């Protein structure tokens, strides 16, 4: 199965993507994780992306689209995948469409997770304490949520209109949210 998981920062995309990945036996691919890995290892890609990530801005599409294109062409992605954190704007939607057309593998579903802003802020504060992510400071969190609201949230409508959207309330426990998602995908 080929899936997107969408929703604001702190909604639990990474957690749910990992559970779905395990349950369906498909890789969870997070563009944020790929960037963080490259930052940590100070690769040319990491160095180029750093200025944007540190400010809570989107890394330029050209760079991001290429990463996704290369990753989806790998062997372990041939039976499906769940993409977390991509696409994030209109141009990335168009890029993903053409990547999938080239590979001849259409998208099955886009999962949209929703939660109240107060729940999101609480979860992100906790994550900042546990993981110590450099971009989890209050100012950068606010910037990332703004970017999400302006550029990424409108994309949910695109997938709704295409008839592939699955919307899930993400306020309960981790296991029950995961069950809801898996039920909805059946
Ligand atoms: P995330 O962990 O998904 O919140 O991503 C962390 C940061 O990586 C974001 O704030 C962006 O700077 C960058 N990033 C991740 N995914 C994308 C994407 N699809 N397009 C552009 N930048 C991205």
Asked whether 23 and 174 are in contact (CB, 8 A), the reply is: no
- Per-residue pLDDT at 138: 82
CA of 46 to the centre of ligand 1 (A): 12
69 is catalytic: no
Number of residues that this document lists for the chain: 186
Predicted confidence (pLDDT) per residue in 20-52, tens digit: 999 999 999 999 999 999 999 999 999 999 999
- Per-residue pLDDT at 40: 95
**Catalytic residue of the set 50, 123, 125, 127:** 127
Listed as ranges, residues in the chain with pLDDT below 70 are none
- 34's enclosing H/E stretch is helix 31-40
Half-sphere exposure of 38 (CA within 13 A, CB side): 20
| Contacts (Cβ under 8 Å, ≥6 apart) of 172 | none
Mutate to test the pocket of ligand 1, among 14, 31, 34 (most ligand atoms within 8 A of CB): 31
Does domain 2-185 correspond to CATH entry 3.40.50.450? no
- Per-residue pLDDT at 133: 78
Asked whether 56 and 35 are in contact (CB, 8 A), the reply is: no
- Per-residue pLDDT at 184: 96
């Amino acid at each position: 199965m080929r899936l997107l998981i969408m929703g604001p920062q702190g909604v639990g995309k990474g957690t749910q993507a990992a559970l779905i990945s395990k349950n369906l036996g498909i890789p969870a691919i997070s563009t944020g994780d790929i960037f963080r890995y490259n930052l940590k290892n100070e690769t040319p890609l990491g160095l180029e992306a750093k200025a944007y990530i540190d400010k809570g801005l989107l890394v330029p599409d050209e760079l991001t689209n290429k990463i996704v294109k290369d990753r989806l062409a790998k062997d372990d992605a041939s039976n499906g995948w769940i993409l977390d954190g991509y696409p994030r704007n209109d141009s990335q939607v168009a890029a993903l469409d053409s990547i999938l057309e080239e590979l001849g593998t259409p998208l099955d579903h886009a999962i949209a997770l929703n939660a109240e802003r107060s729940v999101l802020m609480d979860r992100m504060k906790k994550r900042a304490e546990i993981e110590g992510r450099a971009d989890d400071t209050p100012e950068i969190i606010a910037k990332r949520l703004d970017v999400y609201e302006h550029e990424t949230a409108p994309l949910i409508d695109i997938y709704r209109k295409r008839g592939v959207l699955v919307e899930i309330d993400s306020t309960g426990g981790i296991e029950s949210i995961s069950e809801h998602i898996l039920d909805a995908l059946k």
